[in-house]
Structure 1
Amino acid sequence: MRVERIAEEVWARSPRLGETRLVAVDGPSGAGKTSFAARLAEAIGPETPIVHTDDLLDGWGDQVTFWPRLEQWVLAPLREGRAGRYRRYDWEAGHFGREWTEVPPAPVVVLEGVTSARAAIRPELTLSIFLTAPLDERIRRTDRRDGGTLSVYLEEWRRGEEAHFAADATADHADVVVDTTT
């Protein structure tokens, strides 16, 4: 399904996170979530904010457990019609930065990243999208993106995301599943 058609579907649906249509772009590492989310946000409207879950993780071990931070800093304020905000994790320095990134209470907010369509938020998602690609292709993409420097971390990361997706049945509950190799 093309991003323009998905954007139309987002606008056709009602907001479920207060007055915000929250759209999750989930899937395993290397599936193309960041690129897809950028294209989707542009198709929805040029001012559509994107929140990347990677920015909220407290390092590699926080793959699933970061959610209370996202809830407190971003989702709860948006639910109440207020701006959310978060501090981005600096992956090189190993800690959160000092600056806050604001997330306005926009008509649509795209939440991108592994576990973004988890069961805890499903009732408030206007649309959930799950991206897929074969493992060998995803590994090629992450190696190309990161120069192969993160492959040791990503092996463990993939095991964690596989366990999460299996327990959460994320793809089974997605509104749209997109194979990014086609």
Structure 2
Amino acid sequence: MVGDVHARVVSLLADRPPRAGRVKVLAIEGRSGSGKSTLATAVAAELAAPVVRMDDLYAGWDGLLDGVDALVRWILDPLRRGEEARWQRYDWHLGQYAEWHRVPETDTLVVEGTGAGARETAPYLSALVWLDAPDEVRRERALARDGDVYAPHWDRWARHEDAFYSDHDVRARADLLIPGA
């Protein structure tokens, strides 16, 4: 089953043209704990592609939209112009942006996380994948992954996701929906 999902995503991307300059950008979207990171890691390994994680771009627990802006300004727009793309990692412990990272030269880039499929990113994306999972499964996964750090912020982040998905309707614009846990 997992292999089938990876194959479907890779196949979807194979038929799409690059839209960020010469780079195909695959956005993997869904709510917290839906499996985005796991799928992105597997697909990126299969494609030998780098992964940019939105968690590194958000400006803290209230910085979802800042992360979308950073993705476009630092990565997607420079790629479209044929320039070097780089991003600054947000240090969640210090509460500020830290060191810069260069996006390696590549034909394919995987971007995963809430916000990767924002309306602002759509002109740059070759494909958009949406992952669904039941709320209880998502919460269990997220808290198992991030534990005590995330637990006090679960409801706060969920409200940001609610507002974002209401405005951006990412699921309806996805090229591929992956249901289930």
Query: TM-score by structure 2 length?
Result: 0.92
How far apart are residue 69 of structure 1 and its match? 2.2
Cα distance in 1 for residues equivalent to 2:51 and 2:86: 12
Aligned Cα root-mean-square deviation (Å) = 1.5
Q: 1:25 aligns with which of 23, 28, 37?
A: 28
Moved more, 60-69 or 85-94: 60-69
Q: What residue ranges of structure 1 are gaps of 5+ in the alignment?
A: none
User: Which amino acid is the alignment partner of residue 115 of structure 2?
Assistant: T
Q: What residue ranges of structure 2 are gaps of 5+ in the alignment?
A: none
Query: Is 1:4 the equivalent of 2:7?
Result: yes
Deviations 1:45-83 (A, max 9, x none): x2x111111111111111123333222211121112222
Secondary structure of the residue aligned to 2:27 is: strand
User: Which amino acid is the alignment partner of residue 109 of structure 2?
Assistant: V
Instruction: Find the counterpart in structure 2 of residue 150 from structure 1.
Output: 150
Query: Is 1:110 the equivalent of 2:113?
Result: no
Q: How many residues align?
A: 178
Cα distance in 1 for residues equivalent to 2:155 and 2:89: 24
Cα distance in 2 for residues equivalent to 1:82 and 1:149: 36
Runs of 4+ with >4 A deviation: none
Aligned 8 A contact 1:25 1:131 in 2:
yes
Moved more, 145-154 or 167-176: 145-154
Deviations 1:97-140 (A, max 9, x none): 2x321113411101111011111121321100011100011111
Query: Is 1:52 the equivalent of 2:53?
Result: yes
Cα distance in 2 for residues equivalent to 1:70 and 1:21: 15
Secondary structure of the residue aligned to 1:34 is: helix
Secondary structure of the residue aligned to 1:123 is: helix
Instruction: Find the counterpart in structure 2 of residue 124 from structure 1.
Output: 124
Instruction: Find the counterpart in structure 2 of residue 86 from structure 1.
Output: 87
Secondary structure of the residue aligned to 1:5 is: helix
Moved more, 68-77 or 25-34: 68-77
Secondary structure of the residue aligned to 1:64 is: helix
Moved more, 152-161 or 67-76: 67-76
